[in-house]
Amino acid sequence: MWNDFSSPVFDINVRVGQGSALSPILSSLYLSLFLYILEKRLKILKIPVSILFFVDNGLIITQNNSFDISNSHLSCSYNVLSKLLNSFSLIIEHSKTEIFHFSRSQGIFNPPPLDLSPLGGPILRPKDSWKYLGFIFDRKLSFHKHIDYYANKAISMVKCMKLLGNSSQGISPLQKQLLYRCCILPIALYRFQLWFYNKALLSYHIKVLDKIQRRAAIWILGAFKILPSMGIKAIAGIITIKFHLQKIARRSEIRSFKLPSSHILRNLMDDSPPLLTMSNPHCVGLLTNCQRNLAKGHLINSYNKSYRIFPSFSPLNPEFSPGLRITDKFSNHFSFNLVNKKEKEKYKIRA
């Protein structure tokens, strides 16, 4: 059904494959009505929770100073969720259900379990860490376990790449450096925005990443282990990890302004008056100056450094279409000098 058009009923004998680009689109269309009804029921019951869904992975979020009150909110919302899913012919995989508490308390942290057995679920006991969509969270959001996990993967890759060459044979140092930049760094810095932001404690993270860089530099040059780190990094052409993080962090902050206006990040960074638009209650624009100074995170950095600096950018604007671009309309005003690198190198050798 689309607007006033309704197609006849027909059988479907083809399913969407695992990892298909069509899967999140169809799941969003199917779950949009479910999420709308669920949100309405939770508001009617006055259960203070937030719901987040990524395809078939759902989160129920609640905030409270008491574990007992938080568990009661989660239990009630879980009950509403399971009954509504049954009406949509969907089920919850109870074996994959988890509970996790965030707390910055310095004392003994022993939260009580959440008993979902009356609702047909398991007894959930909080763990020390929680992995969700490739992110590893700890209760204080220090992300030490996250950086340890991906740093170990990166170090394992450096060890495996030693088979490709050493100081006497194999691939050249230039090719080794390219492999480091293309294959190792993206793994070690996976979702660095979680922990690299203003006012964050970075000493542990930088220390772990420096070890990866040192190992990679020794492998690239085939150098001895006793050599100083700064020297071999400079010779190998590897930028210090802290400066590299600052560079890619600035680029990622600008990227959010190239997203469509309907994107969730643009919605959270909305600065328009709340009376004129239906603003998100969690958007940065609704925070006071004092709250913005106290808040931490990559989104806050992006808002503080980039908002009102760059002009509005629409990636779907007609001016970006072929034939309407400035180089297409005024082609006689542009000239491009194409240089053949091979011929250029020949001239250098002759000279």
pLDDT of the residue at 306: 61
Distance CA 20, CA 84 (A): 27
In the predicted model, what is the mean pLDDT of residues 287-315?
A: 68
Residue 42 and residue 49 in contact, taking contact as beta carbons nearer than 8 Å: yes
| The pair of three-digit structure tokens given for residue 214, joined into one six-digit string | 């040192």
**pLDDT tens for each residue of 317-343:** 777 777 887 778 888 887 877 777 676
Give the model's pLDDT for residue 288. Answer: 76
In DSSP terms, 136 is beta-bridged to: 131
Amino acid symbol at 345: E
Mean pLDDT of the chain: 82
Report percent pLDDT > 90 for the chain.
14
Q: Any idea which of 79-88, 140-149, 290-299 has the lowest mean pLDDT?
A: 290-299
pLDDT attached to residue 228: 85
More confident residue, 13 or 351: 13
Which of the four pLDDT bands, split at 50, 70 and 90, describes residue 309? low
Kindly calculate the radius of gyration of the chain based on its CA atoms and give it in whole angstroms.
26
Question: Taken in order 220, 221, 227, 232, is the CA torsion positive or negative?
Answer: negative
SS3 for the chain, per residue? CECCECCCCCCCCCCCCCCCCHHHHHHHHHHHHHHHHHHHHHHHCCCCCEEEEECCEEEEECCCCCHHHHHHHHHHHHHHHHHHHHHCCCCCCHHHCCCCCCCCCCCCCCCCCEECHHHCCCEECCCCEEEECCEEEECCCCCHHHHHHHHHHHHHHHHHHHHHECCCCECCHHHHHHHHHHHHHHHHCCCHHHCCCCCCCCHHHHHHHHHHHHHHHHHHHCCCCCCCHHHHHHHHCCCCHHHHHHHHHHHHHHHHHHCCCCCHHHHHCCCCCCCCCCCCCCCHHHCCHHHHHHCCCHHHHHHHHHCCCCCCCCCCCHHHCCCCCHHHHCHHHCCCCCCCHHHHHHHHHHC
Q: Is the pLDDT of residue 47 over 70?
A: yes
Q: What is the model's pLDDT at position 148?
A: 93
Confidence of residue 276 (pLDDT cuts 50, 70, 90): very low
Round to the nearest angstrom and report the end-to-end CA distance of the chain: 72
pLDDT, residue 313, reads 57
Nearest-angstrom CA–CA distance, 323 and 109: 62
Comparing 312 with 16, which gets the higher pLDDT?
16
State yes or no: pLDDT of 190 exceeds 60.
yes
Cβ atoms 266, 260 nearer than 8 A: yes
* Distance, CA of 60 to CA of 51 (rounded, Å): 5
pLDDT in tens, 23-41: 778 888 888 888 889 989 9
What is the token pair recorded at 169? Answer: 């044979």
Q: What is the pLDDT of residue 345?
A: 65
Residue found by looking up tokens 């049954």 in the block: 86
User: How many CA atoms are closer than 13 Å to the CA of 111, on its beta-carbon side?
Assistant: 24
- Rounded-to-integer distance, Cα 143 and Cα 194, Å: 8
pTM above 0.85, yes or no: no
The answer to whether 306 touches 257, Cβ cutoff 8 Å, is yes
Give the per-residue pLDDT at 151.
92
Cα dihedral angle (22, 24, 27, 33), rounded to 10 degrees?
-120
What pLDDT was estimated at residue 164?
84
pLDDT score recorded for residue 76: 92
Q: What is the mean pLDDT of residues 233-262?
A: 83
Q: What is the pLDDT of residues 138-166, one digit of tens each?
A: 988 889 999 999 999 999 998 888 888 77
